[in-house]
Amino acid sequence: MEDTLSKIKLSLSKMFSDSADLTVRDIILKSNNKLKGAVITIEGLCSKDELAQSVLNPLMMYDFGGQTPDEAIETIINSVSGSCDMIEFNSTQELISFLTSGFAVIVLDGCEKMLATGVQGYSYRSVSEPESEVVQRGAREGFTEPLRVNMSMIRRRIKNPDLVFEQMTVGTESKTQIMICYLKHCASPLLIKKLKKRLEACQLPTVLASGYLSEYLEDKSTSRLFSGVGISERPDTVCGKLTEGRIAVIVDGTPAVIIVPRLFVEEFQGVDDYSNRSYYATLIRLIKYLSFFFAVFAPALYVALAQFHPEYIPTWILIKTSESLAVTPLPVTLEVLLITFVYEIMKEAGLRIPKSLGHAVSIVGGLVVGESAVNAGIISASTLMVVATAAICSYVTSPLYPPVTILRVVLIVTAGIAGLWGIVLVTAVTIISMCSKSSLGVPYMSSLSPFSLRSMRDVFIRASWKKLGSHTIRVQKFPETEED
Amino acid sequence: MKRFLAVIMLFVVMIFPGCSSSRKIETAAIIENVSVTKEHGQLYYTFYKLSSDEKPHKTVIPASSFEDACRLAKEKYIPHLSLAKLRLLLVHIDLKDRVMQDDISYISTQTYFSPVAYVALCDGEALRRVGDSPGILSTVEEKLRLCQKNHPSVKLDYLSIFNSLQRNSTEGVEIAYINSDKELKTDIKKIFRKMS
Amino acid sequence: MHREIKYSSKRLMLTLMLCACSVILLQNNNVSPENSFTVNLLCMLGGMAVCAVMFLPAVILKKRCDTDFLALSEKITPKLKIPLASVYSLYFVYAAAYFLLPYTDMFCEKYYPGASPCVIGLCVLAACVYAAYKGANIITRFGIFLFVFALVTNLLMFGGSVGSLDFANGSFSLETDFDAAASTFIYFCAPSFIAVIYACFAGDTENFKLKQPFLALLFTALKYALVLFFVTFSVGAYAQRQDYQTFILSRVAHFDLFGGIESFFTALATMSVFMIISMFLSCINKCTGSGGVKNSAVFSVIIFIVSFTAEWNNSVKEFFTNDLILIIFTAVVAVLIPLAYIFTGRKNK
């Protein structure tokens, strides 16, 4: 039993390869037998003040008398340390896990047991409003990177003992902590079981963001174009979804929380819908659906009409459009594709460049490239207007941006080859593909197809809270949800 | 599955007529008005192209019938002819018996004409004005609508004229007549089914 | 292949109703111009009555045993599985060609004269293979979207034709030529093919009610009646000058300057044909007991070859677009064979 301290220190220095941030503070306790020990931490993950106040100072001051190391450990837990979070353990795996999670570990020579004390104190981004989910009315709080902070934000909103957080570790290398969060009386045990099974099947070496896990949570052999896994940075959104029987997965180190199952109609529901008056929320929701259709179909319809069916364009637009297209060198299909790609490039550049340069890029993109290209007769004004409007519309339902962009390009190409007929056929195939998709066994197009009249109160319209609040529809109750 | 679809798509892209046979907006000669006149015993079909210019773009084609005029127009005069947006067919009053029925009969067998385009008889001066003055087409259409409002029995579009001619052999069909007494005015004329 | 879970019987009926309604979208002068509106209406009602009769065996099986004919036959005569599958597959190939041919013809003749019918057929079939691979349940889910689109298109088509209504264009008399009435009657029996589809999938559905097939046929009859009414009184004699009268109706429909409703019409026809053929291929999958893409692909190639041959050989085309052959074939697979099983099952009891 003697010399356990040296063994632990040796194995740690081997495992961490003498890493500079591994800190071992040797101590000799005030006792008759001069007990030797060490407080091990990883620099930067602990608060030095708290470590000194609640661990080191009391340890040094306390007189352990003639206690054996095992007795001393018990005394530290019961009478010495002022830390709230104290966990006894004895394996090296746990030791590594605690150290990397910001705990300080107390090791006493001659004792197999070790003591982890919660003195985490790393710096992290403060709680702020998420930029991607800004609301007019509602909380200005968004998730942040540390897991525990995010958990607290959910717990603060749902003060119910039924709220369960189940911890799991994913990533064979990164050992990332994740929390499965659900309301026991709302969520289906089957869905929870399915989710855990899929997370366990995830054999990724590192999990650095929630996006890494999304693909593993998708149902097999269903369309990957639309995502059956939702992401939110807002605690109020997550809490709302939990009450509908959904399950959240919080990944340590990322503010994006996964919500499953995710349905198509949810993409059109926003937090603001529930804060605004129902008639206004309904109007906004209808506008969102229209924007979605415009974002997907407008450029393709423009190509099809200009290329194959000019007679369907109203006369007053037809003259202007034909004249502006007549002076441009490219066929209309290529023109629309070109502008779409240039727009995507500018969008990517705008996202990545420093904010101070953002205005310059907007000016160059909007004025110089756009206007000059129109003036020079490289692209037509009508084409630019259609593509730009479609691009703006695609941001109305921003979570759908990736599938909308892909569909738009596919439809433009199809419209260029086969006109309106091509658009119809691709749309039919896309609808079939969407209808066949499911998220954790719940049909992705639920409410619409399979149709559910009861859910319609929160699909195209947003019924009043009196109606919505009278009965919450749980996600597992949707028709044709898989039951085994 | 994916490979199968890829092969099909490739095949389709390769053989689909696609852009090559499409009616491109920038090249299509979209006709919105056709007038029929007669000079020295020869019928002339004038095709007015849709344009934003002050002066109407017109192509005069000597032909024996509308069918012949359309064929000649495509072959010789207007290669990218599109008659799908034809709004008005104006026929000289003197040709009402000869042209009207044959042409309407021809139109009724063709897919690309809109069956609800207007048909009216005109005097020579009115036809000349249509050929020279910009924006007169809308005025003519307004006059025709007004005429139908005042005389519901008048048949304006060639769908109703054709149907009326088909079923009515004795009473005749009332159609609009535009004359140019100082200003454009609408009147009513009767045409009778040609007995075959 | 997706695991088939029980789905709503109502949704299957809605899909079948849409399939039945699409027959009139593709009609090519099958409704005799010599008949008055009333005679056509009576012929149509007679046709619908025949469709109702065709439904009976499948409905009896569903009501009594909550199963479909295919499951029953497999249970009673497992040895006859291959011959039965062959007969039914043959029927579905015939029926698919019956719908594909007029569709490609209408498309290439009326809507887009530059296109090749074979390419159009091939594209539609490729899309159908994908849909059939996903299964009948998914196709019925697609049916809900198609239903909404059909509703909009029909509203536009009928609403836009109201302005052209002229009761002098047609007559309500009961005088008719027997041959013309008979051919119209046979044509209106064509929607009975939905009874065969129902006989294949009835066992996969839940919450069946006896009124469902009758309501489906009633709404189909209503749609047909509206089309007949507007074709007779809005388009009139003009419709007889061209093929595909319902297409002409969509051309005539307009709201002042807003026209182009034939685009909606063609889209509806495309999606309807896509749904019908996908359903047929799904039925073939079910008959042959295969859920993969292989069977659908093989049979779609056969349908393509048939259509391709029909484009070049007129007698083949006449054979595959013959209403009478379809009706007789439908009667055999929807009534005679299932009834034989029902009676055999009773005797054995």
pLDDT digits (tens, 9 = 90+) for A415-446: 988 889 999 999 999 999 999 999 999 999 99
The pLDDT score that the predictor gives to residue C348 is 61
Rounded (5°) CA angle A394-A395-A399 = 95
Q: Is the pLDDT of residue C152 over 70?
A: yes
Those of residues 261-280 in C touching chain A at CB distance below 8 A are: 263, 266-267, 270-271, 274, 278
Q: From the CA of B116, how many Å to the nearest CA of chain A?
A: 14
Q: Is the pLDDT of residue B6 over 80?
A: no
The pLDDT score that the predictor gives to residue A483 is 67
- Taking a C-beta distance cutoff of 8 angstroms, is the pair C142, C270 a contact? no
Q: In sequence order, what DSSP letters do the residues of C213-239 get, joined into one string? A: HHHHHHHHHHHHHHHHHHIIIIITHHH
Number of residues that make up chain C: 349
The Cα C176–Cα A220 span in angstroms is: 60
Nearest to C88 by CA among C102, C62, C68: C68
Q: Is the pLDDT of residue C81 over 60?
A: yes
The pLDDT score that the predictor gives to residue C2 is 47
B173 three-state secondary structure? strand
The Cα A196–Cα C84 span in angstroms is: 45
The pLDDT score that the predictor gives to residue A366 is 73
Query: In this complex, do B167 and C238 lie within 8 Å of one another by their Cβ atoms?
Result: no
The pLDDT score that the predictor gives to residue A125 is 84
Q: Is the pLDDT of residue B11 over 80?
A: no
ipTM of the shown complex: 0.94
Chain B hits for C119, CB-CB cut-off 8 Å, are 12, 15-17
B3 part of contact set with chain A, CB < 8 Å = no
Query: In this complex, do C235 and B159 lie within 8 Å of one another by their Cβ atoms?
Result: yes
B153 part of contact set with chain C, CB < 8 Å = no
Low-confidence ranges of chain A (pLDDT < 70): 1-2, 483-484
Those of residues 289-308 in A touching chain B at CB distance below 8 A are: 305-308
The nearest alpha carbon in chain C to B164 belongs to: C169
Q: Of B26, B50, B84, which has the smallest distance from its Cβ to A326's Cβ? A: B26
Q: Is the pLDDT of residue B18 over 50?
A: no
> What tokens appear for C262 in the block?
């034939």
Query: In this complex, do B24 and A331 lie within 8 Å of one another by their Cβ atoms?
Result: yes
The Cα C68–Cα C52 span in angstroms is: 17
Dihedral pair phi/psi, residue A176, rounded to 5°: -75, 135
Q: Judging by beta carbons within 10 Å of its beta carbon (0-12, 13-18, 19+), is residue C343 exposed, middle or buried?
A: exposed
Nearest to C56 by CA among C288, C233, C214: C214
Q: From the CA of C267, how many Å to the nearest CA of chain A?
A: 6
C169 part of contact set with chain B, CB < 8 Å = yes
> What tokens appear for B29 in the block?
């000669």
Where exactly are the structural domains of chain A? 4-118, 131-262, 285-436
Q: Is the pLDDT of residue B13 over 70?
A: no
Q: Is the pLDDT of residue C326 over 80?
A: yes
Q: Which of B9, B30, B159 to mutate to test the interface with C (most CBs of C within 10 A)?
A: B159
Q: Is the pLDDT of residue B99 over 70?
A: yes
pLDDT digits (tens, 9 = 90+) for C214-254: 999 999 999 999 999 999 999 988 888 888 889 989 988 98
Q: What is the pLDDT averaged over residues C146-162?
A: 95
Chain C hits for B28, CB-CB cut-off 8 Å, are none
A318 part of contact set with chain B, CB < 8 Å = yes
The Cα A279–Cα C6 span in angstroms is: 37
Q: Is the pLDDT of residue C309 over 50?
A: yes
Query: In this complex, do A432 and C137 lie within 8 Å of one another by their Cβ atoms?
Result: no
What's the pLDDT band for C99 if we cut at 50, 70, 90?
A: very high
pLDDT digits (tens, 9 = 90+) for C262-275: 899 999 999 999 99
Rounded (5°) CA angle B32-B34-B37 = 165
B34 three-state secondary structure? strand
Q: How many CA atoms lie within 13 A of B181 on its CB side?
A: 4
The pLDDT score that the predictor gives to residue B17 is 46
Q: What is the pLDDT averaged over residues C321-336?
A: 93
Nearest to B178 by CA among B103, B105, B96: B96
The pLDDT score that the predictor gives to residue A2 is 55
> What tokens appear for A22 in the block?
């591994």
What's the pLDDT band for B109 if we cut at 50, 70, 90?
A: confident
The pLDDT score that the predictor gives to residue A1 is 47
Query: Per residue in C314-338, is it b (16+ CB within 10 Å) or e — as a string?
Result: eebbeebbebeebbebbbebbbebb
The Cα B111–Cα A272 span in angstroms is: 51
Q: Is the pLDDT of residue C293 over 90?
A: no
The Cα B109–Cα A53 span in angstroms is: 98
Would you report the helix, strand and coil content of chain A in percent, each value rounded to 5?
55, 15, 35
Query: In this complex, do C119 and B5 lie within 8 Å of one another by their Cβ atoms?
Result: no
Q: What is the pLDDT averaged over residues B136-159?
A: 85
More confident position, B92 or B180: B92
Query: In this complex, do A418 and B18 lie within 8 Å of one another by their Cβ atoms?
Result: yes
Q: Which chains does chain A touch, 3 or more C-beta pairs < 8 A? A: B, C
Mean pLDDT of chain B: 80
The nearest alpha carbon in chain A to C261 belongs to: A312
Q: Of A307, A311, A321, which has the smallest distance from its Cβ to B19's Cβ? A: A307
The Cα A459–Cα A264 span in angstroms is: 10
Nearest to A293 by CA among B24, C272, C145, C157: C145
B17 part of contact set with chain C, CB < 8 Å = yes
Those of residues 94-123 in C touching chain B at CB distance below 8 A are: 109-110, 114-116, 119, 122-123
What's the pLDDT band for C305 if we cut at 50, 70, 90?
A: very high
The pLDDT score that the predictor gives to residue C164 is 87
Q: What is the pLDDT averaged over residues B164-185?
A: 80
B11 part of contact set with chain A, CB < 8 Å = no
Query: Per residue in A252-267, is it b (16+ CB within 10 Å) or e — as a string?
Result: bbbbbbbbbbbbbbbb
Where exactly are the structural domains of chain C? 7-348
Yes or no: domain C7-348 corresponds to CATH 3.40.50.880: no
The pLDDT score that the predictor gives to residue A219 is 87
pLDDT digits (tens, 9 = 90+) for C19-65: 999 999 888 777 877 788 999 999 999 999 999 999 999 999 888 88
Q: Of C3, C8, C138, which has the smallest distance from its Cβ to A479's Cβ? A: C8
The pLDDT score that the predictor gives to residue B79 is 84
DSSP E strand stretches across A308-449: 438-439, 442-443
What's the pLDDT band for B150 if we cut at 50, 70, 90?
A: confident
Q: Is the pLDDT of residue B168 over 70?
A: no
The nearest alpha carbon in chain A to B5 belongs to: A429
Q: Which of C1, C2, C5, C257 to mutate to test the interface with A (most CBs of A within 10 A)?
A: C5
The pLDDT score that the predictor gives to residue A187 is 93
Query: In this complex, do A429 and C127 lie within 8 Å of one another by their Cβ atoms?
Result: yes
The Cα A310–Cα B96 span in angstroms is: 32
The nearest alpha carbon in chain C to A304 belongs to: C263
Distance of alpha carbon C201 from the chain centroid: 16
| Mean pLDDT lowest among A181-185, C32-36, C284-288, C306-310 | C32-36
